[in-house]
Each structure stands twice: as C-alpha cells, then as structure tokens.
Amino acid sequence: MGEVSYDIVILGGGSGGYACALRAAELGKRVALIEKDKVGGTCLHRGCIPTKALLHAAEVADHSRDSAAVGVRTTFEGIDVPAVQKYKNGVVDRLYKGLQSTILSRKIDIVTGDGRLSSATSVQVGDDVYTAPQIVLATGSVPRSLPGLELDGSRVISSDDALELDRVPASAIILGGGVIGVEFASVWRSFGADVTIVEMLPQLLPLEDEASAKVLQRAFRRRGIGYELGARFESVAPSAEGGVTVTLAGGKTLSAELLLVAVGRGPVSDGLGYEEAGVEMERGFVKVDSLCRTSVPSISAVGDLINTPQLAHVGFAEGILVAERIAGLPVVPVDYDGVPRITYCDPEVAAVGLTAAQAAERGIETVEVNYPLGGNGKSVILQTQGSAKVLAAREPDGSPGRVVGVHLVGSRVGELIAEAQLIYNWDAEPSDVAQLIHPHPTQSEIIGEAHLALAGKPLHFHA
C-alpha cells in the first residue's frame, strides 16, 4: 500500500470538487482530485450540459416546425435520435476535454478510482492512501426513486436513462414536476411525444413563485403537455400494450410507453466512511456550517452532498469558498437566496431572491409588479409569452424599498437573470434600476419596465 501526501485531498470531481481544486491550486496548494468516473460530475456528464443540448435540439425542432409563421418555408421530417445523441455527446466530450486540460494545467493530480474516507485526514483508493491536513468531500448525488418503485432502465427510468434513450417515446408519464421533470417534458413534447406530468404539490416547479408556475402551466397546456397537480402516485404496473400503467391516489390511471421518475436527487454518501470518521450526517446529507465545515475540523463538504440548492453554480461557489478558507483568505457565507436559478424548458423560468410566499413567511411585506412580455417588442418578435415579476419590500410609507425577488418567464429569459442577480445582491431599489437605460428592442427591457412601474413612472405598462 502506497501513501502520498498533499495539502488538500478532494473526494469527488464534480462541480464543487473541481472548482475547489482549481482555486486551491491557484492559491499554491498541492491538490489531489479523486474521481471514480470522469471529472465534471453530474453537471457535465448527466445533468446541466447534456440536458441543455437536448433542449437546444428541441428548440430547433420547434422553429423548423413553426417556421411558416414567419414566412420561412421548411420541411420538418422528424427527429433523428442517433444524430441528436451524437450532437449531445460531442458537446459533452468537447467540454470534458477542455476541463481535463484546465485541471492538468494547474498541476492538480487526478486520481481515478473509488475513494473512501479512511480517517479524518486520509482517503483510500484501492491499495493507495492519499493524506492531507484538509479533506474536502464532494461526492455529489444520484437520481432518487420512491419506496417500492424500482427503476428497470427500460420502462421505468431515471433521468440518467432518459439522456441515453435511443428513441423518442410515443408517450411518457413523468413523476415529478420539478426542474428535471419539466425540462424532459419540454424536450419530449418538442420531439413529438405525448407527455403527462404527475406532481404531488399544487403547482409545477414547486420551489418557484406561484405566479411563474401559473404562466408556465398555461404555456404547457397550449403546447399539449398534460399535468396532474396535487396528485399522489400509488403504483405502476406493466400495461397490455407493453408500456406502463400508473395508478394515482383515488384510483385514476394513466398509461404510456414509459415512466420517467424525476422526484429529485439524493446525496452519494452511503458506505464511504463518513460516519466512521466522525462526520455528522442528516438524511444522507453531510451536515455543515455556513462556511462548509463539517463536524470534523479537518473535513469540509460541498455541492449536492450537503443540503443546499442542487445547482452547479452553487457547487462552484462552495468549492471556491472552501479553497479560500483553507488558504487563510477572508470568506463570507454563500447567500443562497441570492443565487439565480433557471429551468430551461419552453418557456424558460428564471428567478433570484424570494418568492411571494417566502417573503410572507419571513414577515416581509412587499410591493410587486407583474409586467407581461406582450408589451415587449423583442418578445413579440420571438413569439414568446410570459412575464417579469418584481417584488420589493414595502417601506413604512407604502413605497417600494429594496428588491427582494425577480421572477421571469419567457423564451431565453435565463440570459437576463444575471442583471436581476446584481439588483438583488446589491440591495438595489426600483428607483435605482429605473435610472438605467436598457437597449431597445431587447428582452432586457422587461426588467427595466418592471422597475420603472414599481418606481411609479411606468413607460409602456400601467400596473
């Protein structure tokens, strides 16, 4: 058995792990990055990147199918699934090679193999032990299922399976109306499938603002995407046609070619030696403080392994925070309310800050405006519908104070959320944003118009 010493050993090469490695190496630390599969983790190989490649293919299909509406004559001949898969895999492979090159250029040692925490300062991979005064756990997450619901990879599948399908299903039931379920529903509908989403809570995208969910639900209804809200799954069985039949509480049944289980992702922590090393756990997640420190002083944890928003850019931020803290730099906790979030369906849903319900729960009285995209020139050109909702804290005199939430729905609004992030994180008030000149015609004007209206001087919109 060999033993190698480093300044930092990182277990897991996904978004949080490799971000920590890159930043730590920049700060002069000798780093080992242990990954059992490929660096890049879920985001690059089974999440963000491949799903967005499929969503882009879906967008092209929709544009081809609807091109006559703008006077362009095309013939839509269908979806060539092997070619779509080749495109998707090509995107992933290009980014993977670039990431590998970046990591190696920083003199980070990539160790391939199954790692297990063997002490508070060591990780074992096979017969080798990698030691360091600081260990970072970043083992990520995997698709979850429900008790008694077995994934067979054929008729009852996970999001990992869905990414590798060699066909467009004729019909699909999607269990779960969160980000993963909604995005696959959008892709498959654009590819020609009949899709129904089953969500146990009263709205799609339960973590988003109710107003955004209603806009999305109307858009999905127009697209022919079905959904059952407030519906509890009971069982699934093979159907006579070779597909599946899903039974909901109350006896209602739905039948389709396959069932995609999209009920979220769970942390990868079982059997990795965490508890044996004294790391405190909760429901499979590693417990950390606001600076990502575990109950063991020499061990930190980041990404989907801890109970924070399961977003790649959250993992990046946590990884950088840990690297800088270990290096002795001053750091501040991540403000998770101020992290932008995007669902890349059609139409897109993007947000930063608090929802109206969250503001009410925290005792924050708000003033709000909801600006429809129908009044925005570029949105009309793009033939998209949606809205921009801005929430501001209500001052004692009733006027709007700092912006506490921005919620956007519409084509490509994810590209606008960075400005909203600055507005939220810099404690801007509507009057501050109203002074900024947004270029015309762009969709960015919807942010400007909403803040103009909240500031009491609306231009093209009257609240």
Measured in Å, how far apart are the chain's first and last C-alpha atoms? 71
Distance between CA atoms of 337 and 443, rounded to whole angstroms? 24
Residue 279 tokens read as 């790391």
Distance between CA atoms of 459 and 463, rounded to whole angstroms? 11
| Closest by Cα among 262, 83, 92, 55 to 167 | 83
Distance between CA atoms of 376 and 374, rounded to whole angstroms? 6
Strand 31-35, strand 8-11: pairing: parallel
Strand 244-248, strand 141-143: pairing: unpaired
User: What is the CB neighbour count within 10 angstroms for residue 281?
Assistant: 15
Residue 8 tokens read as 């930092």
Give the torsion through C-alpha atoms of 184, 189, 194, 200, to 10 deg. Answer: 40
Active site residue 440: yes
Q: What's the order of all strands across the beta sheet hosting 341-343?
A: 341-343, 348-353, 400-410, 387-394, 366-372
User: What is the CB neighbour count within 10 angstroms for residue 1?
Assistant: 7
* Catalytic-role residue among 440, 451, 460, 462: 440
User: What is the CB neighbour count within 10 angstroms for residue 435?
Assistant: 10
Q: Phi, psi (5° rounding) for residue 325?
A: -65, -45
Give me Rg for the CA atoms of the chain: 24
- Angle among Cα 184, 185, 190 to the nearest 5 degrees reads 100
Residue 125 tokens read as 């991979």
Cite the DSSP H helix spans in 298-387.
312-326, 356-361, 377-382
User: What is the CB neighbour count within 10 angstroms for residue 389?
Assistant: 22
| Closest by Cα among 369, 356, 368, 366 to 462 | 369
> Which residues partner with 30 through β-bridges?
none
Q: Which residues does the annotation mark as catalytic?
A: 440
